[in-house]
Amino acid sequence: MTAETDSKAPSASQWLDARVQAGAPKPRAAARELPRVPRRYGQWAAAGLFIVIAVLMAGWLWQQKSDRVEALALAHAVSAGSVIERSDLKVIEVAGVDGALGSGDVDTVVGSTAAVELVPGQILNRAMLATAPVPGPGERVVGVQLDATRAPSGLAPGDVVRVLAVPAAGDTSSPDRLGSPGVLADGARVVSVDYVEGAGTGLNLLVPQERADQVASFGAAGRVALVQAPVGGDG
């Protein structure tokens, strides 16, 4: 009869201790990984910035729209002295144009006379209109041809200029005249402007009748210079 052994199978804890003593790694309980919520702070900031910019742009556009008014402009060219008809006009929206005639002024514009040469798209103001033909009684239109040194750049119909008598180009015999040039016509109005490359500027000026001959003769001799003045005068 064989002897019955009293030894029992090692328990789980004994088995684990034996493995640890043998150098085997101790098993760890599997940790449950919680789902990670992605951080969207950058996206939220970008979205907020976009909304702010959109609101600011909408406000700016609304302000620009509220500042615009309907004004009368030329649908096509009208020469000085011509009667303006309704078909000559169109309505456009503008902002920041001082003195512009509004769409409600159309009845007062139709039938008036163009005091200056009008070009397509030009916005109308009262200074461009006359109730009588141009030139009127006591007025004359004189043409002058000037180089770039004798007329301001950017002159346009309706501008007011002072017509001065100056020495001819290259004439240095009378330097005293340069200090106090004679005034041929004060308050002359530009009727039309023709810029010719290489040939200067051709202008038609509306001047008082008694000054017209002098302006014409000095202009033909190349002895005219222009100084631009405010349309409403110096006050």
What CA–CA distance (Å, rounded) separates 90 from 36? 66
What CA–CA distance (Å, rounded) separates 107 from 105? 6
- Evaluate if residue 20 carries a pLDDT over 80: no
pLDDT score, position 5: 46
Between 56 and 208, name the one with better pLDDT: 208
Instruction: Write the single-letter amino acid at 176.
Output: D
**Residue among 139, 142, 161 at smallest CA distance from 151:** 161
Residue-wise pLDDT for 164-218, tens only, equals 998 877 666 666 666 778 899 998 988 888 887 777 888 999 999 999 999 999 9
pLDDT over 70, % of the chain: 72
What residues contact residue 201 under an 8 Å CB cut-off, 6+ apart?
Answer: 145, 146, 147, 148, 151, 155, 193, 194, 195
**Which of 40-44, 150-154, 188-192 has the least mean pLDDT?**
40-44
- Residue listed under structure tokens 């210079």: 225
Using DSSP's 3-state secondary structure scheme, residue 155 falls into: coil
**Which of 58-67, 94-103, 123-132 has the least mean pLDDT?**
58-67
Residue-wise pLDDT for 24-36, tens only, equals 555 555 445 555 5
What CA–CA distance (Å, rounded) separates 50 from 133? 59
For residues 84 and 101, the answer to whether their CB atoms sit within 8 Å is no
Between 18 and 151, name the one with better pLDDT: 151
**Residue among 82, 95, 172 at smallest CA distance from 130:** 82
What CA–CA distance (Å, rounded) separates 206 from 141? 5
pLDDT score, position 224: 92
Within 10 angstroms of residue 105's Cβ, the number of other Cβ atoms is 16
Ordered structural domains, the chain, with CATH: 69-130 (3.90.1210.10), 139-229 (no CATH)
The rounded mean pLDDT for the chain is 78
What residues contact residue 128 under an 8 Å CB cut-off, 6+ apart?
Answer: 114, 115, 116, 118, 122, 157, 158
pLDDT over 90, % of the chain: 18
pTM of the entire structure?
0.53
Burial string for 49-62 (b: 16+ CB within 10 Å, else e) reads eeeeeeeeeeeeee
pLDDT band at residue 158 using 50, 70 and 90 as cut-offs: confident
pLDDT score, position 24: 53
